[in-house]
Structure 1
């Protein structure tokens, strides 16, 4: 195998309330296209109320430091926040893909653009949006959606309130994938991010295309990363 035949490296970072198992349908599709995919498990979804965004960012960085050679990072939803916090501190990160994800500026937290928390200030663990199936999986086949809902995990409030100190999308070529019927990520976030990414693409359907349309999503990941590479 020549160097150019080596699998491309992709690190997948899940969103709030989720875990690495959310990528199970997508990973085989990526591998069939020549990617070597690995996942990060964010501490803020472990049930520990003291684990916040900075702990998640540390977990992302520690995982990235184990990856040899150039790597692309794909972040879903809240996962965009810890990725944005640390990606530029890891020299081999060459591209970022934000999938229905938050792209924030330094000094911002998830709650900043909406003017403050949507939960009481004493909250330690934020309940999952209800009904979760409507918020995350409305276009996912029923049996698969039920399994995904059962796998959702507790989410610490600190993850939503700790502010970024960096905005790595400013220094690393980045793509934004917008899900056109997203019922989870507020439109406010989507609109402000359209001018932040170097490349913007759209997918039909809801917040979780890794479950609803993994083949189409894998193809789009291929396309946006090649488009970013051509702009280098």
Structure 2
């Protein structure tokens, strides 16, 4: 959770803001270099609006391993499930979401949309790192690329938690495209400094596309706005 010395940045709401509605299950799936910690500010906002939220920590060994982790998390939930995928998570989510009958829809938050037979690397025309690299360091400068619109203390907290990412997650090919089979909405960030332009263009394939101001990580910078938009879309 957000540490005590950053409590002034944490979620806060008054009783009258509570919305007594059961919206069902929402599974949150983080992107590359991140972990389930990245949802710490968003989860309270979602739960205040009636969502039963769950998070999954991707193993990050390869895309197929991540996809299995997503599927295991989905089958453990009772009742209808909406899946929110951030960035790279769009790939493992697309791999398995349509195989779980309880999944009713997807929300792609600045998330990759791949066709079967593509990988992130192939879709971009080749790797952006030296061939044979197994472990990719955190993109630099992480503060500017991922968290430019966060207050300094919160940005430092987030950067400290980023971890190197296995390159296999970007190299293994998609075999299914659940976003073509399930109702899918896309959320794009207007000042996103790391999301590839080609994937921004691909978001038009979603049934609904919405925009948020700011950078790649609105779950930290704009949790209340993001929660309200998720409620609207899902």
**TM-score, normalized by the shorter chain, greater than 0.5:** yes
Structure 2 residue 42 is matched with structure 1 residue 16: no
Aligned to 1:218: 227
Structure 1 residue 67 displacement after superposition: 0.4
Unaligned runs of 5+ in 2: 1-19
The aligned counterpart of 1:228 is none
- Give the superposition deviation at 1:113: 2.0
Aligned-pair distance for 1:5?
5.2
The match for 2:123 among 113, 118, 122 is 113
| Alpha-carbon distance in 2 for matches of 1:100, 1:174 | 13
CA contact (8 A) 1:113 1:189 kept: no
**Deviation per CA, 1:210-230, whole angstroms, max 9, x where unpaired?**
0000000000000011xxxxx
**Which residue of the other structure, out of 87, 103, 108, is the alignment partner of 2:113?**
103
Find 2:184's aligned residue among 158, 167, 174: 174
Partner residue of 1:43? 59
Residue 103 of structure 1, CA deviation: 1.1
Correspondence 1:1-232 to 2 at 5 A: 6-44=22-60, 51-194=61-204, 196-225=205-234
> RMSD across aligned C-alpha pairs, in angstroms?
1.1
Q: Which runs of 5+ in 1 are unaligned?
A: 45-50, 226-232
**Could you say what secondary structure the match of 1:43 adopts?**
coil
TM-score by length of 1: 0.91
CA distance in 2, matches of 1:203, 1:86: 27
After superposition, the C-alpha distances for 1:69-97 in whole angstroms (9 at most, x for unaligned) are: 10000000001110000000111000000
Equivalents in 1 of 2:23, 2:95: separation in Å?
A: 26
**Preserved contact between residue 103 and residue 193 of structure 1 (Cα < 8 Å):** yes
Deviation at 1:120, TM superposition (A): 1.2
What is the CA distance between 1:158 and its match in structure 2?
0.1
Question: How many residues align structurally?
Answer: 215
Moved >6 Å (runs of 4+): none
Return the TM-score normalized by structure 2: 0.90
The alignment partner of 2:121 has SS state of coil
